[in-house]
Structure 1
Amino acid sequence: MILFIKLFLAHLLGDFIWQPNSWVADKEIKKHKSVYLYIHILLHGVLAAVLVGKISFIPYAILIAVTHGVVDLIKLNFQKKKTKRTWFVVDQIAHILILIGVTLLYENKTIINFWQHNAFWILLTGVLLISKPTSIFIKTIISIWAPESKNSHQDNSLIAAGNYIGILERLFVFGFILTGHFEAIGFLLAAKSIFRFGDLKEAKDRKLTEYVMIGTLISFGIAIIAGLLVQALLLQLP
């Protein structure tokens, strides 16, 4: 575990802390012809080797540097202006998976078969339940009360922001229940109410207020029930 932490620290330093925006811009323009790309690759290898601090790890540090460069080159050549965010996520996931693989390889360990454990399936089902399926369920249930839009203030909101906020809040509630921090649920609900107060005050629409309250309470309710059910099932495991 400590080896992965050191490698992850090296990744954070190399990819974010010690990589100026000028390097990133130069790489995006010149791609494989950018000298900063190779400095960046070398930096990752050196950081990995130095932070681990073992001569025997040097070949693995070289492996990290080379694979990091390959992943970066793939991203630089395939990403477009509209897909930068997607490629950023894919790029970071690939780097982390490589670090995990190198850690297991160096420590001569095998990947644990998570799917062979009942707890994994219980948690996975719970998390998936409170994500998009619950969003669709809530939207369908409260659609009969959806207030008509009388102004364009909603046009200024982010695309599908409400959906993502709902999923995130349910994941937080789910996690709070499994970790036994029920008081944090009240804090989260209060925080959301404060942020929502401005919109509801400006709207001056009782139907909109009731609509938001119903959606919020159903969302929190489902997350709480799902968390308690998952917790109960996990406690039944041998």
Structure 2
Amino acid sequence: MLALKLILSHFLGDFVLQFDGWVKDKEKNKLKSKFLYLHTFVHASLMFLLLGLKKEYVGIVIIISLFHLLIDAVKLLKPIKNKRILFFADQLAHLAVIGVVVFVYQGLKFRIPTLITEKSLLLAIAILIVTVVSSIVLKVVFSLWGDALKKINKSDSSLKNAGKYIGMLERLLVFVFIVLDKWEAIGFLLAAKSVFRFGDLTNAKDRLLTEYVLIGTLLSFGIAIATGLLYLKLLTFI
């Protein structure tokens, strides 16, 4: 419960109650920005609000607040130039502090070895198959039509690697729907994809794009469905 309250206060403070004006002022004035310290105060107030004004939690709030201020100050100095990496590193650092504080004050109620079970390993393998592994498999399959794909890519402007990540999310959703026994959701997902790609297919000057989309969709959904069914079947033996 302590960890959940601290994480909730963090998300509220960092994503809900931190305004664009504050962020711009901090990026401009760095450590001299008043909003850096106001932001830290907001976090402390949220923690007290969720935990209650109890003496046993004063130390927790002070420690997390000081580390939050330190992490944000380091972020403003931009030790990493890549904004995306810096953002995720910042968030992981905040959550790591919360985790350490909870461990020190309460102790973890589980041990790491207990998390590594046959079921968790099977789930990890299934997720890897429907995301990274299947992406490579599809790439290898489509290498059969290398010249044709180059023609499509030249005539199609899109975000870098967008198709790859869309495919991963698509297969992951299909896998989740199968595990939850929500087959109708798979039909909805397939229909939604068909609607979004309808314009591309109808405007295509030749059959290359149509065939590419159909083969990719059928293979992608097929891999995800097969993985989901195999996962459920193997669970019965564990």
If the length of structure 1 is used for normalisation, what is the TM-score?
0.88
What is residue 136 of structure 2 aligned with on the other side? Answer: 136
- The 2-side partners of 1:150 and 1:121 are apart by 39
Q: Is the 8 A contact 2:26 2:76 kept in 1?
A: yes
Deviation of residue 165 (structure 1)? 0.2
Deviation of residue 187 (structure 1)? 1.0
What is residue 198 of structure 1 aligned with on the other side? Answer: 199
Q: Is the 8 A contact 1:6 1:52 kept in 2?
A: yes
> Which range moved further: 99-108 or 161-170?
99-108
Matches within 5 A, 1:52-71: 52-55=51-54, 56-71=56-71
- The 1-side partners of 2:153 and 2:228 are apart by 38
Deviation of residue 30 (structure 1)? 2.3
Please tell me whether residue 31 in structure 1 is matched to residue 38 in structure 2: no
> Which range moved further: 214-223 or 86-95?
86-95
What is residue 154 of structure 1 aligned with on the other side? Answer: 156
- The 2-side partners of 1:228 and 1:150 are apart by 33
| Matched AA of 2:111 | I
Deviation of residue 164 (structure 1)? 0.5
Q: Which deviations, in whole Å up to 9, do the C-alpha atoms of 1:172-222 show, x marking residues without a partner?
A: 111111222222111111111111111111213222101111011101111
Percent identity over the alignment is 45
Q: Which deviations, in whole Å up to 9, do the C-alpha atoms of 1:39-61 show, x marking residues without a partner?
A: 11121112111111151112111
Q: CA separation of 1:100/1:184 partners in 2, compared to 1, >3 Å: closer, same or farther?
A: farther
Please tell me whether residue 172 in structure 1 is matched to residue 169 in structure 2: no
Q: Is the 8 A contact 1:11 1:44 kept in 2?
A: yes
Matches within 5 A, 1:88-107: 88-107=87-106
- The 1-side partners of 2:79 and 2:213 are apart by 38
| Matched AA of 2:216 | G
- The 2-side partners of 1:119 and 1:98 are apart by 29
For structure 2, the residue ranges without an aligned partner over 5 or more in a row are none
SS at match of 2:151: coil
Q: CA separation of 1:205/1:103 partners in 2, compared to 1, >3 Å: closer, same or farther?
A: farther
Q: Superposition RMSD on alpha carbons, in Å?
A: 2.2
| Matched AA of 1:190 | A
What is residue 231 of structure 1 aligned with on the other side? Answer: 232
Deviation of residue 80 (structure 1)? 5.8
Q: Which deviations, in whole Å up to 9, do the C-alpha atoms of 1:89-126 show, x marking residues without a partner?
A: 22223323333443444433345315531112111111
Following superposition, which runs of at least 4 residues in structure 1 exceed 6 angstroms of deviation? none
- The 2-side partners of 1:67 and 1:80 are apart by 19
Q: CA separation of 1:87/1:151 partners in 2, compared to 1, >3 Å: closer, same or farther?
A: closer
For structure 1, the residue ranges without an aligned partner over 5 or more in a row are none
Q: CA separation of 1:64/1:144 partners in 2, compared to 1, >3 Å: closer, same or farther?
A: same
Q: Is the 8 A contact 1:45 1:61 kept in 2?
A: yes
Q: Is the 8 A contact 1:104 1:111 kept in 2?
A: no
What is residue 220 of structure 2 aligned with on the other side? Answer: 219
- The 2-side partners of 1:67 and 1:170 are apart by 39
| Matched AA of 1:176 | F
